[in-house]
A and B are shown apart, each in its own frame.
Chain A
Amino acid sequence: MPDVKLVGLRKSYGDIKAADGLDLEVKDGEYLCVLGPTGAGKTTLLRMISGLLAPDKGKIFFDGKDYTRTEIEDRKAALLSQTYALFPQLTVEENIMFGLDIRGSDEKLKEQVLISMLDLVRLSGRSDAYPRELSGGMQQRTALARALASGADLLLLDEPLRALDARLRISLRTELRSLVKTLKMTAIHVTHDQDEALVMADRVAVIRDGRILQIGTPREVWDEPATPFVANFVGQSNFFTGEVLQSSPYTLIRTPEGTVLKGRPSELRPRSMAVLGVKIGNTDISKERKGYLKAKVERIIFEGRNLHVDLMMDNGQRISSKVPSWRKGKISPGDVVDIYWEESKGTVFPMPPNGLENELKVE
């Protein structure tokens, strides 16, 4: 089972840079999710690893060996595409056996693999069916079985759950991950769905404009985002800008209105401009308790488990908060509430060179 290393991959289509110096290391047997908005270069990344696309610059290593120019079929990296690409003229069985057939494996091995695969993906009863006769979930499992049976060591998943309905998508997350883990494969899974990435991955790599912004465990990416963009893309955040007063033992920031806000310790120099980001789920509101800021409740959206509250601050900035639903009767539109957060939940970033608005933009 290989570890994968990408060094300085570049690929552009005209002016668009789909990969802009991509560096990435995936450990042997790891389940890595690449998370990013549409057009961030996720698919380009997968296509370069699989060999379907040649990078303009940079190198790809599998187990330390240079695979940059290796033919697609010699990489043992099976791609599972969004549409599954099950061959319509072949049955489930023939689809699963495709990889072994091509390599001319002997019948005994084929039989063994087929039985174990059908068993693994629970399709033993449908081996003679054609792809169009299967449900979305079955198609997905067939495509997975086909990739697993091909003898590939590396599994490349391009939004594999996208075409499924919401409930199935959620149940297949854990199933897919445990299958890959059982077979001890290395998996690179790209998605734009943060929940999917957080639930499935050993590590998450957040990608934007062809560059990896941060790579870490789901908890690290969630709790300690490297940039305001990551803070906002992985769980929505509220942002406050101001001037740094001190940076340890906790960071203090003074807003233009003179309010002082607290966040985690940082290495920012005093008097530099900074951005404080707080996840909306960590942004609490209260009528009783004194907070950092005051804001007026504009509307409350009932989301089942939570309430999503949109607020307007005195300076005109809009922020949001997520609070448990049981507080429904206690706040109503028009109320003026106090805003507060635990200082350990406030992450401080240097002011992005292009301004906060550009930093947060998702094309």
Chain B
Amino acid sequence: MDSLITVISRKRFRTGWTAFIIVFFLFFVILPTVYILSYAFTNWGSIEQYVLDDPDMLDLILKSISASFQIAGIVTVIDILVGLPMAWMLVRKEFRGKALLDTLIDMPLAVPTAALGFSSAIFFAITPETLQAPSFALNAVSSPFLLIILLHVVFSYPYMVRSLSAILIQIDQTYETAGRTLGASALSAARTITLPLFRAGLVTGIILCFARSLSETGGTMIALATMANSQGFQTGPTIIGMWKPLVEDNSDLAAPLAFVSIMLILLSLVLLVIIKLVIMKVHLPIGRIWPRPEKLFSRGWFPKTKDGLAVFFLVLFVLIPSFFIFTYVGSVEPTSFDWGPFMESLLFSFLVAGVVTVIDIALGVPLALYIAKNRTGKLSEVLDVLVNVPLIVPTAALGYSLGVFWTGQNIIPTYDVLLIILAHVAFTYPLVVRNVAGAVEEVDPAFEETARTLGAKPVQAFRRVLYPIIKSSILAGAIMAFTRSLGETGATQAVVESAQTAPVYIVNLIKLQTASGYYTAGLACIVLIIVSFVFMLALRYITNRRSR
């Protein structure tokens, strides 16, 4: 043991290890994620032939991609409008049931999007007879565009509330109090003093929501398959999911698939940059104050109505749709079903998620340490930006790109399982890195430095001093990676056509559009929800213990 510590403490070994981690990150995470972009250079001819010169194809692709971006945009705006009052309430107000509300907000995060898609579609959409939706379902939405917006709000809303409240907690309330003692009404003070300090949280929230909405595949496909008439509506990721299984027999689809992926990757990255620039740079004319109306809105019925509406929205548009599946499964006529395949797929999902999480931790923590400890270095700055790329790129495009990358190389064998694991590592790896890097940055470097001057080798200083402090963040990152992997549909489908993870299995069941298919899918969703919920509770337990 001692000699091992000595060996890995050598400068040369440490340098080599750091280099290995960075190479892994660039070669196994970043490069495969964006590899498909090179298709535009090597195969421009086929893109012209199969996409640009085929008006029907081009029209379909552009329509679906623009639908994706419109939906993501609208969803983000809705999230901000209804998320802000909710975040404000959770952070700044004291009321009975606050803890409950706080937990309720996170509940949709525990539900895999595939289950959410099915559940909310049953609640909102006009559904076919065979589904036997309960009579008290809303049963009202006939536009697929609107349905997808509603669905995406359901699962992105908690992200917005969480990002906003996280930053709101950090903002020192004394500024606002000072403003109020100087005569500003509550609304004026909040609007002119606190909101401008808010930009960072808003950027994170917007990017998270936008990226999640843009990326969502499984839930969207399920919602479209569940509604009575989806009018052939597609988003960018669902097109990839639809074509990928066909491309083996019909190689004409390779170019359109690459084209969709390229568009999604490029546009999402460009948008990321624009959002960052616009929000951080644009100067809003918030200096103006309207004392009289703002004073009026600061007390009496207005704040109460606002809070009431925020809670009403949460219940009707987020919570009920999330868990409607339970009432559906409870009310519908049971049909015979075969648990076998589902359990197999669930087991497979667990296996993948487990392996992915182990890889994320083993190779993500070192990168996080490197980034956090070399903040001033150019390389670390670049890595820090690159880490966000797989979070922003829609996972379906990421999966397709990764599949093309690895099957085109002869470096590693391309077993399906391996490809799925690599794809899941690509989009979960940043979760661990960002979580851990954030935690490490908050730890006073003096701890490790002092340990070193007391005679600890670098490995010992990490294991004995830093690791115990950031342990809970590593665990939190691991659970996030695990649940994300467990719930992922888009990347899985796009990397390997025959993949049988639990969410993909549910998607395929619903696509059958039979009564027993729906029923089995419903039960499968519930199992998935319960499993994810257990992990969610574990996560909350851990993070609460940390903040104590």
- B455: Cβ under 8 A from any A Cβ: yes
Query: A147–B452 Cα gap in the complex (Å)?
Result: 11
Task: Scan B449-479; emit 1 where CB is below 8 A from any A CB, else 0.
Answer: 1111111110010001100110000000000
- A79: Cβ under 8 A from any B Cβ: yes
User: A83-91, A251-259, A291-299, A321-329: which lies at the B interface?
Assistant: A83-91
- B446: Cβ under 8 A from any A Cβ: yes
A83 touches B456 (CB 8 A): no
Q: Cβ of A150: which chain B residues have Cβ within 8 Å of it?
A: 454-455
Chain A residue nearest in CB terms to B460? A102
- A270: Cβ under 8 A from any B Cβ: no
B447 touches A87 (CB 8 A): yes
Q: Chain A: interface residue count, which band?
A: 20 to 34
- A52: Cβ under 8 A from any B Cβ: yes
- A59: Cβ under 8 A from any B Cβ: no
A52 touches B449 (CB 8 A): yes
Chain B residue nearest in CB terms to A80? B450
Q: Cβ of A156: which chain B residues have Cβ within 8 Å of it?
A: 453
Q: Contacts A51-B452, A71-B9, A78-B454 known; list 4 others, CB within 8 Å.
A: A72-B449, A73-B456, A87-B464, A102-B457
Query: A101–B469 Cα gap in the complex (Å)?
Result: 19
- B94: Cβ under 8 A from any A Cβ: no
Knowing A89-B468, A98-B464 touch, does A152 contact B447 (C-beta < 8 A)? no
Q: Cβ of B450: which chain A residues have Cβ within 8 Å of it?
A: 78-81, 85
Q: Cβ of A83: which chain B residues have Cβ within 8 Å of it?
A: 444, 446
Query: A277–B452 Cα gap in the complex (Å)?
Result: 45
Query: A288–B507 Cα gap in the complex (Å)?
Result: 104
A89 touches B456 (CB 8 A): no
- A104: Cβ under 8 A from any B Cβ: yes
Interfacial residues, chain A to chain B (CB-CB below 8 A) = 50-52, 71-73, 75-83, 85, 87-89, 98-99, 101-104, 146-147, 150-152, 156
Q: Cβ of A81: which chain B residues have Cβ within 8 Å of it?
A: 446, 449-450
Q: Cβ of A99: which chain B residues have Cβ within 8 Å of it?
A: 454-456
Query: A87–B454 Cα gap in the complex (Å)?
Result: 12
Q: Cβ of B446: which chain A residues have Cβ within 8 Å of it?
A: 81-83, 85
Chain A residue nearest in CB terms to B446? A85
B455 touches A89 (CB 8 A): no
A147 touches B2 (CB 8 A): no
Looking at the complex, which one of A50, A87, A88 makes contact with B453 (CB distance below 8 Å)? A50
A102 touches B455 (CB 8 A): yes
A78 touches B453 (CB 8 A): yes
Query: A297–B456 Cα gap in the complex (Å)?
Result: 60
Query: A101–B460 Cα gap in the complex (Å)?
Result: 10
B453 touches A146 (CB 8 A): no
Query: A77–B452 Cα gap in the complex (Å)?
Result: 10
Main secondary structure of the interface of B (DSSP, over half): helix
B453 touches A77 (CB 8 A): yes
Query: A52–B458 Cα gap in the complex (Å)?
Result: 12
Q: Cβ of A88: which chain B residues have Cβ within 8 Å of it?
A: 469
Query: A328–B469 Cα gap in the complex (Å)?
Result: 58
Query: A99–B464 Cα gap in the complex (Å)?
Result: 11
Q: Cβ of B9: which chain A residues have Cβ within 8 Å of it?
A: 71
Knowing A73-B456, A73-B457, A146-B454 touch, does A102 contact B464 (C-beta < 8 A)? yes
Q: Cβ of A85: which chain B residues have Cβ within 8 Å of it?
A: 444, 446-447, 449-450
A98 touches B454 (CB 8 A): yes
Knowing A85-B444, A89-B468, A89-B469 touch, does A102 contact B449 (C-beta < 8 A)? no
Q: Cβ of B469: which chain A residues have Cβ within 8 Å of it?
A: 88-89
20 contacts between A and B (CB under 8 A): A51-B453, A72-B449, A72-B452, A72-B453, A73-B453, A76-B455, A80-B450, A82-B446, A83-B444, A85-B446, A85-B449, A87-B464, A88-B469, A101-B464, A102-B454, A102-B457, A104-B2, A146-B454, A147-B453, A156-B453
Chain A residue nearest in CB terms to B471? A89
A73 touches B465 (CB 8 A): no
Q: Cβ of B465: which chain A residues have Cβ within 8 Å of it?
A: 87
Q: Cβ of A146: which chain B residues have Cβ within 8 Å of it?
A: 454
Please give the distance in Å from A230's CB to the nearest CB on chain B: 30
Knowing A89-B468, A89-B469 touch, does A102 contact B456 (C-beta < 8 A)? yes
Query: A101–B457 Cα gap in the complex (Å)?
Result: 12
B447 touches A151 (CB 8 A): no
Query: A116–B449 Cα gap in the complex (Å)?
Result: 25
Query: A102–B457 Cα gap in the complex (Å)?
Result: 8
Query: A73–B464 Cα gap in the complex (Å)?
Result: 14
Which of B452, B460, B469 neighbours the largest number of chain A CB atoms within 10 Å of its CB? B452
Please give the distance in Å from B204's CB to the nearest CB on chain A: 28
Chain A residue nearest in CB terms to B451? A98
Q: Cβ of B460: which chain A residues have Cβ within 8 Å of it?
A: 102
Please give the distance in Å from B173's CB to the nearest CB on chain A: 25
A73 touches B449 (CB 8 A): no
Query: A101–B449 Cα gap in the complex (Å)?
Result: 17
Query: A156–B452 Cα gap in the complex (Å)?
Result: 13
6 closest Cβ contacts across the A-B interface?
A85-B446, A79-B453, A72-B452, A85-B450, A150-B454, A99-B454
Which of B449, B451, B454, B465 neighbours the largest number of chain A CB atoms within 10 Å of its CB? B454
Chain A residue nearest in CB terms to B465? A87
B454 touches A152 (CB 8 A): yes
Please give the distance in Å from B11's CB to the nearest CB on chain A: 8
Of residues 456 through 510 on chain B, the ones whose CB sits less than 8 Å from some CB of chain A are 456-457, 460, 464-465, 468-469
Query: A250–B301 Cα gap in the complex (Å)?
Result: 86
Q: Cβ of B457: which chain A residues have Cβ within 8 Å of it?
A: 71, 73, 102
Q: Cβ of B455: which chain A residues have Cβ within 8 Å of it?
A: 73, 76, 99, 102-103, 150-152
B454 touches A147 (CB 8 A): yes
Please give the distance in Å from B12's CB to the nearest CB on chain A: 12
Query: A75–B454 Cα gap in the complex (Å)?
Result: 9
Please give the distance in Å from B6's CB to the nearest CB on chain A: 11
Please give the distance in Å from B386's CB to the nearest CB on chain A: 25
Q: Cβ of A82: which chain B residues have Cβ within 8 Å of it?
A: 446
Query: A88–B446 Cα gap in the complex (Å)?
Result: 12
Query: A156–B447 Cα gap in the complex (Å)?
Result: 15
Chain B residue nearest in CB terms to A81? B446
Query: A50–B444 Cα gap in the complex (Å)?
Result: 18
Of residues 1 through 55 on chain B, the ones whose CB sits less than 8 Å from some CB of chain A are 2, 9, 11
Please give the distance in Å from A363's CB to the nearest CB on chain B: 22
Query: A147–B460 Cα gap in the complex (Å)?
Result: 17
Please give the distance in Å from B361's CB to the nearest CB on chain A: 20
Which of A82, A101, A102, A147 neighbours the largest number of chain B CB atoms within 10 Å of its CB? A102
Please give the distance in Å from A173's CB to the nearest CB on chain B: 22
Of residues 415 through 454 on chain B, the ones whose CB sits less than 8 Å from some CB of chain A are 444, 446-447, 449-454
